[in-house]
Every structure is written in C-alpha cells, then in structure tokens.
C-alpha cells in the first residue's frame, strides 16, 4: 500500500519521541539562542546530528527566523543521503512528513515543477530512513506558523545541478531555503577546529570548492553557495562548535556550524576598501603573468610578478588581447581545473598564438599590446523554458552566457554586452557563434550564466 505520509524515522534516537518532551527540548534550545535585529535570512545552513550534539548550534540559525513566522510559507529543505545511494536528487511522492509535533504538508506543485529536470528523480525510499532532513522539522514547526515543505535528498550529482533546482524554487520572501550539513567527521578536537574553521571561511566567501571530508553535505551546500552568489547574498556565521563542545568526548568529534545567508547590504567603507585592494593586487598578479608568458615566448625580458594567495587555488580565466583598440585574440576556459596562476599563463599564450581567427602574434606587436584578464566565477544553470524567458532573465552588462545544444557550444563574456546591448541581439549572435540559426530554440537547449572580475593593464604598462 502506498504511503501518503512519511512517518518519523529517528524520533526517540536523534530527538525525543514524546510530543511534550520534544517541544520542551526545542523550546529550551531556542531560548538559549541569540536573536538579533539582523536582516531576515533567505537561506540557512544547519547541522543534522542528534539534538544533544548539534541541536544547540542549529537553534542559533532557527532563532533568526522567529520574527518571520507569519511571512515564511514554504521551506525548501536539502540535505545529503546517508542510508540509500541516490544518483541525482530524490524527491518524495508522499503528501506529508510527520514528527511528534504533527504533520507538515509537502508542496506537491513545487515538487511536480521539477519533473522535467534530469537530475531529479522520485524516491520515497531515499527519504524513508534519512535523518538529515527529518531533524530540521521540529525546529521549523516550532518557529513557523503553517508552512509547506519541499524536501530533497541530494545524492551523487553536481553543485550546478543543485543550483539549477534552487533557482527554480527560489521564490520570494515567502520561501526559506535550508541546507542540512555537518562539517568534519571523527577528527581529534584541535584538528577538527582547524579544519572546520577553514571550511567556514570558504562558506563565508561563498566559495563552492568543498569536498565531503569538509562537509558531509558538500554537494547541496556547494550548489547553494553558487545560488547565493547569483542572488547577491552574504553569509553570516552564527555558531561554530563540535561534539566535543556539546556532549561528546574530544578524541573523535564531528563539526557543526550555523550560517545565515542574507540579502547583501552596502559594505562599509573599510570593507569596500579592503575588497578593492584585494582585487587590485590580484589583477596586478594576473596581468603580470599573462604579459610575461607572451614575453617568454619571444625571449623578451619579463617583469616582476606580484604574489597573491588566490594564485594557487583553481581558477578559470579568459585573456583578451587588443592592438589599437581592435581585438587581436581572446581565449579562455570555463572550468577551474588548474591553479589560477598557471591558467592565466596558458590562456595568454593561447590568445597570442592559437586563436584560429587571427594570425599568430608577431614580436613587433608585443610592446603595443593591451592585455585584459577576466576571472570567471562558477557558472549557474539558467532555468528557462523559452527564449522569451531567457531574454527576460539575462542581466545586460553583468552575465556571461554559455549556450549548449547537442554538442554545439559557445560563450560570450559579459564584455560582449558593450557591442550587443539588447538580449535579443546578444542571444542571436551567441547562437550563430555556436553554429546555430539566430532564431533557433529547442526544449533541450541549455543556458548557463556567470560573472567575471575584469582586470586591465594601466595605460603605459607595457
């Protein structure tokens, strides 16, 4: 017989099975949590261990939405699978989830809207014994009024596939997104502290380069970080502890954090200055390496290369060369698959000597060359069903766009909007670049968008 309600699976083990005891337990943890006047979060990151271990940490996140109890009407809840192997993202077919505090109805319309996405599958088995999502429900039932739930169990898939699902479910102020993940597992206390601090630093920078040793929910979390970047959210750390701080011994601990993702506010003057100085230093380091790579190819003298910590991390760049304001070469990569310092040298050489649209750069042209480096952020799928939707969703001057259809692929950097300022023109030219007719559209055509940080050499730098 098909179930219409998923019953509680870990009541009595991860949290109290008695309704009154559970209500008291959650209420006490929330009572101990700080509540601030900070902006209401759009998204929360919370842990999912037994309440005695991670409940006090999770409570700091849930305390942040008590003021929104009448506003939030839907919760999109994602977490990793622990008991059932899933290739993709599993959506349940039942109509409600149940805890000792009552039933939570599912938003069947929202779940049905994901059916056309290849990464989403239907599986009640993936949810039947999964604790990562269930342990969040008593908190949500306590801090919110009536709400519907969109529970998704994330298995083997990509962060980009998760981000595409989140984009479709993003909604407005009525929708809260909750990501369930613990941090490191079974390290010694001091080692776990160092590891988790480094992981949280990445999360606060919205850096999706996470693995499952750093966070068991690395895939849903990385997808959420991609989405947070696109929507301009900023991350605020609310609590960071491990089981050695709460209820366990310190020989083998599990790490927990609570993070709120909020609409970004205008940065302070000092923060803006620090960001500008960071970008200026990174730009100088990238441009020096791009120019030196070409100079080396001609056996010409090279200049000093400033150091920067970002150069050793994976990065994706495009290098654009111009002579007298005219394009002389432009080559890059869309995937961060090598250290940034190495990648910018490679793309500079390819732009100078391997762009098939131009003859190889000549030595006598080098001194007059203007070099521009674009540092790409990770691409996020653009969930649209028609070209009209795509034109409405694109942000001229901001979005770089990748177009793919059955092996045919092309991209335009955001700089191309300067020549093609209208989305209709932009998409038509991008399709022609991919070898497709300007008016082409198909149901399986895929679009992704990304942002770049653009660095240009100062006048007279050569």
Query: What does the CA dihedral 76, 82, 86, 87 come to, rounded to 10 degrees?
Result: 90
Domains of the chain: 5-263 (3.40.830.10), 269-376 (3.30.700.20), 380-452 (3.30.1490.150)
Q: For every one of its 462 residues, what pLDDT tens digit does the chain have, with 9 covering 90 and above?
A: 466 999 999 999 999 999 999 999 999 999 888 767 677 899 999 999 999 999 999 999 999 999 888 899 999 999 999 999 999 999 999 999 999 999 999 999 999 999 999 999 999 999 999 999 999 999 999 999 999 999 999 999 999 999 999 999 999 999 999 999 999 999 999 999 999 999 999 999 999 989 999 999 999 999 999 999 989 999 999 999 999 999 989 999 999 999 999 987 655 566 567 667 878 999 999 999 999 999 999 999 999 999 988 888 778 999 999 999 999 999 999 988 889 999 999 999 999 999 999 999 999 999 999 999 999 987 777 878 899 999 998 999 999 999 999 999 999 999 999 999 999 999 999 999 999 999 999 999 999 888 899 999 985 555
* C-alpha closest to that of 335 among 347, 351, 350: 347
pTM reported for the whole predicted model: 0.65
Cα(266)–Cα(280) distance, integer angstroms: 20
Q: Are strands 380-381 and 446-450 parallel, antiparallel or unpaired?
A: antiparallel
Q: How far is CA 84 from CA 80, 114, 448, in A?
A: 10, 21, 31
113-161, pLDDT tens digit by residue?
999 999 999 999 999 999 999 999 999 999 999 999 999 999 999 999 9
Residue 284 exposed, middle or buried by CB count within 10 Å (0-12, 13-18, 19+): middle
């Amino acid at each position: 017989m098909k179930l219409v309600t998923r019953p509680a699976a870990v009541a009595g083990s991860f949290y109290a099975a008695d309704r009154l005891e559970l209500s008291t337990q959650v209420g006490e943890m929330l009572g101990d949590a700080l509540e601030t006047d900070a902006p209401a979060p759009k998204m929360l990151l919370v842990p999912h261990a037994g309440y005695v271990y991670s409940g006090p940490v999770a409570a700091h996140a849930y305390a942040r939405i008590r003021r929104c109890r009448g506003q939030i009407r839907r919760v999109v809840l994602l977490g990793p699978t622990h008991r059932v192997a899933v290739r993709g993202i599993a959506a349940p077919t039942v109509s409600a989830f149940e805890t000792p505090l009552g039933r939570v109805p599912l938003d069947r319309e929202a779940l049905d809207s994901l059916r056309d996405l290849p990464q989403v599958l239907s599986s009640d088995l993936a949810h039947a014994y999964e604790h990562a999502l269930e342990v969040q429900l008593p908190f949500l039932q306590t801090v919110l009024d009536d709400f519907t739930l969109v529970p998704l169990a994330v298995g083997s898939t990509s962060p980009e596939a998760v981000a595409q699902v989140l984009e479709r479910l993003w909604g407005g102020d009525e929708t809260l997104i909750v990501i369930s993940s613990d941090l490191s597992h079974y390290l010694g206390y001091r080692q776990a502290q160092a590891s988790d601090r480094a992981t949280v630093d990445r999360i606060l920078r919205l850096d999706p380069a996470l693995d499952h040793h750093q966070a068991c929910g690395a895939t849903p979390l990385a997808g959420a970080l991609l989405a947070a970047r696109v929507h301009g959210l900023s991350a605020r750390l609310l609590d960071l502890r491990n089981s050695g701080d709460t209820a366990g011994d310190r020989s083998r601990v599990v790490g927990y954090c609570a993070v709120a993702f909020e609409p970004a506010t205008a940065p302070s003057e000092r923060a803006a200055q620090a960001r500008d100085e960071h970008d200026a230093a990174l730009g100088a380091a990238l441009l020096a390496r791009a120019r030196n790579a070409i100079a080396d190819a001609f056996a010409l003298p090279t200049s000093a290369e400033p150091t920067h910590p970002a150069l050793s991390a994976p990065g994706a760049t495009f290098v654009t060369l111009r002579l007298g304001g005219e394009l002389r070469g432009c080559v890059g990569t869309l995937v961060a698959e090598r250290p940034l310092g190495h990648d910018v040298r490679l793309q500079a050489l390819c732009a100078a000597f391997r762009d098939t649209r131009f003859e190889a750069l000549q030595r006598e042209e080098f001194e007059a060359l203007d070099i521009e480096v674009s540092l790409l952020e990770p691409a996020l799928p653009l969930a649209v069903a028609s070209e009209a939707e795509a034109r409405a969703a694109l942000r001229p001057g901001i979005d770089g766009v990748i177009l793919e259809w059955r092996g045919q692929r092309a991209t335009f950097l955001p700089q191309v909007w300067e020549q093609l300022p209208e989305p209709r023109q932009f998409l038509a030219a991008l399709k022609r670049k991919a070898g497709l007719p300007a008016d082409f559209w198909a149901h399986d055509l895929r679009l992704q968008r990304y942002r770049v940080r653009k660095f240009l050499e100062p006048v007279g730098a050569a």
